[in-house]
């Protein structure tokens, strides 16, 4: 008896040391025996005769016949235990073993492994998102490029549609006006009001042309398609040209247009003169347009290869709120009642930026506006010979071929050049031009681009292939740089944008004559 008790005590101590507890149940799951250390795991409601599932939740749903291992269950006392169910003939022994150490080690490893896996998943997801964003961006870029191409193409098309009839309108109204001034018979036939009407047609036509040019420039600036063409220019002469152009406008409004130039005559700088001219005309034109009393004054000076320009006006001024918006495309002050596209300052600002300069606008409502801009204008060390830029007429005996499908424009050009003493042969397309060049010698060819049967480009390519060196100037309604570059690739002598100024043609013909003379 004593020995049995002793053995029982030894067993209990051993079980406790091992962290092992047990419960024995009969086939009806009633408790028949339990170890003394069961309370260590918080199973306090286990007593002989009780149903095991009433005191131990994990036993619910299990039966006495199933052998099963349930590792790492969190017991009511918080200790992690591993449970084994060992069935025998009419009973079941439930062994409960402390698994704290094993669980802690497992917890550390599993936590790290899972966190790492989550990190990898997150990284993969971010990479996927990055790739998706990149694809989206690429798609957007393609869409933008397409939109830009369509816009340029639209503008080019619109420009072409506008320029062709405008060329005709401006040319013919010029001729009629000149004939009115020179012929007394005509004066008798046309009343003064008819002459005014003609001038109105001209004004409207020129306004339309300026709208088209502004729209086209805006489109080109948006697609970065404007290429600057800097060359040697006489600055004082350029400013004087602009003044001559705008003087009639200021005279008509009875306001002063003053110049304060601190630039010596014959100062030659390298600059894109046509773009500078465009900026000056836009800024001075705006100043004159909005100034009803007083003056518009332009000051300019050269400082360290920079051209500094200031335009002061005594106009109505601009409110601080409007000053923030004036560079936005198509923006116009609501209450001025002045016509315009709202693109002039936008284009000027962006062209000046493209030239590497900056533009600043200061204005006080009721007092006027000051616009400053500065652009790089490096001085040319070697002075150009001013005589060379104004050649004498050398073309009197030159044979010129004109390829143009629009009869109105062709007749106008033939007539205008005949007035200057140039003999012109007219053909209607590129193929006829090639035929004419094969059968007759011409000193110079003026060629339209868009013609039926054979385009100007195709004719240029054929001439290049045939090694025909006759200088060809292209006349195109497109002011897009890509079209100019295409024509230049085919070896064209010059590229003229319609409506073509007759003086420009005469100047080119002169240059061709000079080149021919130089070659001997």
* Contact footprint for other proteins (CB under 8 A): 53, 57-58, 60-62, 66, 68-74, 80, 103, 106-107, 110-111, 113-115, 117-118, 121
Rounded Cα–Cα distance for residues 471 and 450 (Å): 19
**Sign of the dihedral through C-alpha 267, 272, 277, 279:** negative
CB of 399 within 8 A of CB of 423? yes
CB of 246 within 8 A of CB of 284? yes
Q: Which two tokens stand for residue 27?
A: 């086939």
> Which of 68, 393 has the CB closer to other proteins?
68
> Which of 53, 301 has the CB closer to other proteins?
53
Shortest Å, Cβ 20 to other proteins? 18
Shortest Å, Cβ 38 to other proteins? 17
Rounded Cα–Cα distance for residues 91 and 363 (Å): 103
Rounded Cα–Cα distance for residues 510 and 391 (Å): 7
> Which of 27, 358 has the CB closer to other proteins?
27
Shortest Å, Cβ 66 to other proteins? 7
> Which of 76, 230 has the CB closer to other proteins?
76
3-state secondary structure of 14: helix
Shortest Å, Cβ 111 to other proteins? 5
> Which of 125, 407 has the CB closer to other proteins?
125
> Which of 120, 328 has the CB closer to other proteins?
120
> Which of 58, 457 has the CB closer to other proteins?
58
Shortest Å, Cβ 59 to other proteins? 9
Helix (H) or strand (E) holding 326: none
Q: How many CA atoms lie within 13 A of 425 on its CB side?
A: 18
Shortest Å, Cβ 335 to other proteins? 47
Shortest Å, Cβ 53 to other proteins? 8
Rounded Cα–Cα distance for residues 347 and 286 (Å): 13
> Which of 114, 489 has the CB closer to other proteins?
114
Shortest Å, Cβ 131 to other proteins? 16
| Rounded alpha-carbon distances, angstroms, from residue 24 to 4, 14, 85, 259, 318 | 20, 18, 10, 115, 99
DSSP per residue, 382-398: SPP-TTTTSPPP--TT-
Strand 444-448 with 20-26, pairing: unpaired
CB of 463 within 8 A of CB of 436? no
CB of 361 within 8 A of CB of 323? yes
Rounded Cα–Cα distance for residues 369 and 372 (Å): 10
Shortest Å, Cβ 97 to other proteins? 13
Rounded Cα–Cα distance for residues 282 and 344 (Å): 6
Rounded Cα–Cα distance for residues 441 and 484 (Å): 26
> Which of 84, 295 has the CB closer to other proteins?
84
> Which of 86, 454 has the CB closer to other proteins?
86
Shortest Å, Cβ 89 to other proteins? 21
Rounded Cα–Cα distance for residues 78 and 388 (Å): 104
């Amino acid at each position: 008896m004593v020995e049995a008790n002793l053995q029982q005590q030894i067993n209990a101590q051993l079980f406790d040391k091992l962290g092992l507890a047990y419960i024995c149940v009969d086939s009806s799951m009633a408790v028949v025996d339990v170890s003394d250390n069961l309370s260590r795991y918080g199973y306090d409601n286990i007593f002989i005769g009780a149903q095991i599932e009433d005191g131990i939740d994990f036993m619910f749903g299990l039966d006495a016949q199933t052998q099963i291992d349930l590792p790492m269950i969190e017991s009511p006392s918080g200790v992690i235990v591993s449970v084994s169910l060992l069935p025998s003939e009419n009973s079941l022994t439930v062994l409960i073993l402390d698994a704290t150490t094993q669980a802690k080690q497992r917890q550390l490893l599993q936590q790290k492994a899972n966190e790492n896996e989550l990190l990898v998943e997150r990284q993969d997801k971010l990479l996927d998102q990055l790739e998706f964003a990149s694809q989206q961006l690429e798609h957007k870029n393609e869409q933008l490029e397409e939109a830009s191409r369509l816009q340029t193409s639209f503008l080019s098309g619109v420009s072409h549609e506008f320029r062709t009839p405008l060329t005709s309108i401006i040319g013919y109204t010029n001729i009629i006006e000149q004939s009115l001034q020179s012929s007394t018979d005509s004066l008798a036939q046309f009343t003064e009001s008819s002459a005014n009407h003609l001038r109105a047609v001209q004004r409207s036509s020129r306004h339309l042309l300026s709208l088209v040019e502004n729209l086209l420039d805006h489109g080109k600036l948006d697609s970065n398609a404007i290429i600057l063409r800097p060359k040697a220019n006489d600055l004082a002469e350029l400013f004087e040209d602009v003044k001559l152009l705008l003087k009639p406008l200021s005279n008509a409004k009875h306001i002063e247009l003053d110049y304060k130039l601190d630039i010596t005559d014959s100062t030659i700088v390298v600059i894109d003169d046509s773009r500078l001219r465009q900026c000056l005309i836009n800024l001075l034109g705006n100043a004159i347009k909005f100034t009803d009393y007083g003056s518009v004054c332009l000051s300019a000076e050269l400082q360290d290869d920079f051209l500094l320009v200031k335009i002061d006006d005594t106009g109505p001024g601009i409110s601080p709120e409007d000053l923030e918006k004036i560079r936005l495309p198509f923006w116009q002050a609501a209450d001025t009642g002045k016509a315009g596209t709202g693109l002039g300052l936008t284009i000027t600002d962006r062209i000046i930026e493209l030239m590497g300069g900056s533009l600043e606008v200061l204005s006080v409502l009721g007092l006027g506006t000051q616009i400053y801009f500065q652009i790089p204008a490096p001085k040319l060390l070697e002075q150009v010979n001013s005589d060379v830029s104004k050649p004498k007429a050398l073309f009197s005996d030159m044979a010129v071929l004109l390829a143009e499908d629009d009869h109105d424009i062709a007749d106008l050009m033939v007539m205008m050049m005949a007035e200057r003493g140039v003999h012109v042969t007219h053909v209607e397309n590129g193929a006829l031009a090639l035929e004419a060049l094969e059968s007759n010698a011409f000193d110079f060819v003026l060629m339209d681009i868009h013609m039926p049967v054979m385009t100007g480009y195709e004719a240029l390519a054929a001439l290049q292939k045939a090694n025909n060196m006759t200088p060809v100037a292209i006349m195109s309604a497109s002011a897009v740089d890509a079209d100019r570059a295409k024509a230049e690739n085919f070896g064209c002598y010059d590229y003229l944008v319609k409506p073509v100024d007759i003086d420009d043609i005469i100047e080119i013909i002169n240059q061709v004559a000079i080149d021919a003379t130089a070659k001997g």
